[in-house]
A and B are shown apart, each in its own frame.
Chain A
Amino acid sequence: MSPWRSLRRPAFVAFVLGCTISLITFPGLTLRLAGPSAIYWSFIPLAEIVALALICRKGNELLSFPSKVDLFFAGHLPWLLWLTGLSAAFSFLSPGEAFAFAQPFWLYYVAPAVIIWSAWIDFGFYRSILRSSRGGAIARLVAQRAISWSMILLIFSGSIVWQSPHL
């Protein structure tokens, strides 16, 4: 697989992020918001690729890294459906109702279910694609998420992470 083709799914994740930001802000899909947001929010798939590169140095050498990236991002459907649900709430409810719906229901109750669902898919990726043992797959799952989510949290929340750890 060519490196460019392997970026199809990460690029789609960035595209959906851009659309979501436009829909929850505007509301509507406007080039002014969706375009730039998709570009600067591509830091999320990029962080995931970096983390994947760090933990996938070994495992199924028959598969190229671009193919691993493509197959890894095949497990992002739960997150994309979650983002689409958030977009739909802000598209069709009034801002006050959507805010009340998003917090706590969508963010605090549905997101954990999405985390578990996507973890199950990622676990399957490490087991069947990278041919990890059960323990190895769990270790890789935890390591990939710890690395990528730390990077994402640092960029998203910045100083609050290191200055106010109790919040």
Chain B
Amino acid sequence: MKPGRVIAGVLLVASMAAGTFSDAPRRVPPPFLRGYQVLAADFHVHSFPFSSSTLTPWDTVIEARRQGLDVIAMTPHNHTWVAKVGQWFSKKINGPIVLTGEEIVTPHYHLLAIGIRRTIGPNLSAATAIDEIHRQGGVAIAAHPTKKYWPAYDAEAMRKLDGAEVVHPIIWRREDLGEQLRQFYGRAHLTAVGDSDYHGLGPVGLCRTYVFTHDASEQGILDAVRKGQTVVYDRGQAYGDPALVQLAEADGRLPDLSGPTAQDAGFLSAFSRITAILGMLVAMTLVYPIRSGGTTGSGGTSA
């Protein structure tokens, strides 16, 4: 056997073994604070296929559990059926609570419809879409409401809206976008929400919402969001119900995961990452051998 194959094989097998061995779920029971059960939630999660993400609904559920999330809302673009698959699977494995939902995507606004069962079309005004969400018993959250989406949220829509994403990964791309999210959140009495808008880049729950509820059920969570019983962190800054922010601060157990945080610590994880990249590169030189006088050859293939 060629030495290159042995090297690539050893690197990739070692990486896979180390990674798989270190792949354990973070089992942190939801804390209780003065009678409230505090659930870690991510209300904006996409999956594969048809929703511009990398993991299937069942892999997304397992990954959410590994990331210590108690609640996720699956919000495919303009449909709900992938979310129903995720909810069904999570119930089967006793995973996190999965709320079915949809991200209503229109050229004028993006709106999260959480807790709905039937698809809401993208051809409604924001106010009408919110009415339909409420008719189905769901909550309406403005998704990454940056300046270009503000005109869609007129006075009527703002009055009906339940919450807004005040923390979202776009804040790391451009600080001015973060400022726009904060300005929108400040425009009305809205529930503070932090979401990862998970499309496969980075961990699910990278930005998260702490929901304070007396009833850790789907209905209890939706009610808590309606009542504004949330706390969200953005690099040390907290948003949400001031009394709950104070309560959380005094307790000190809710981790602020927003912002650039350190990677999963641990030797096995680091070893797995390094050997994986090296193994992939070595394997590429075997499958795509570099020939003199050209970038890549045909790898010995002949007609």
Residues of A with C-beta under 8 A to B50: 155-159
Give chain B's interface residue range (CB within 8 Å of chain A).
35 or more
CB <8 Å contact, A36 and B59: yes
On whether the beta carbons of A74 and B299 are closer than 8 Å, the reply is: yes
Cα–Cα, bound, A98→B264 (Å): 14
Q: Mark B199-216, 1 if CB is under 8 A from A, else 0.
A: 011111010000000000
Point out the residues of chain A lying under 8 angstroms from B94, CB to CB: none
Question: Which residues of A6-32 have CB atoms within 8 Å of chain B's CB atoms?
Answer: 8-9, 12, 16, 19, 21-32
B280 in the interface (beta carbon within 8 A):
yes
Taking a contact as CB atoms under 8 Å apart, the answer to whether B269 and A12 are in contact is no
Could you tell me if A32 and B206 are in contact, using CB atoms closer than 8 angstroms?
no
Chain A CB within 8 A of B3 CB: no
When distances are taken between beta carbons in the complex, the residues of chain A under 8 Å from B272 are: 28-30
Known: A77-B296, A95-B261, A159-B78. A33 touches B63 (CB 8 A): yes
Within 8 A of A (CB), among B95-121: 105-107, 121
The number of chain A residues touching the other chain, given as a range, is 35 or more
A25 touching B16 by the CB < 8 A rule?
Answer: no
Q: Is B262 an interface residue (CB 8 A)?
A: yes
| A-B contacts besides A28-B19, A77-B288, 13 pairs, CB < 8 Å | A12-B287, A26-B19, A29-B18, A30-B20, A37-B59, A70-B298, A74-B288, A87-B277, A88-B277, A93-B263, A96-B258, A121-B295, A166-B107
Tell me which residues across on chain B come within 8 A of A163, comparing CB atoms.
77-78, 105, 121-122
- For the A-B complex, the count of residue pairs with Cβ-Cβ distances under 8 Å equals 207
**Residues 214-233 of chain B, each 1 if its beta carbon lies under 8 Å from chain A, else 0:** 00000000000000000000
Measured CB to CB, the residues of A under 8 A from B are 1, 8-9, 12, 16, 19, 21-34, 36-37, 40-41, 60, 62-64, 67, 70-71, 74-77, 80-81, 84, 87-88, 90-100, 102-104, 121, 155-160, 163-164, 166-167
Question: With A and B bound together, what is the CA distance between A158 and B83 in angstroms?
Answer: 14
Bound CA span A92–B274, Å: 9
Q: A12-B287, A24-B202, A84-B280 are in contact. Are A156 and B52 (CB under 8 A)?
A: yes
A156 touching B48 in the complex, CB below 8 Å, given contacts A21-B54, A63-B303, A103-B201: yes
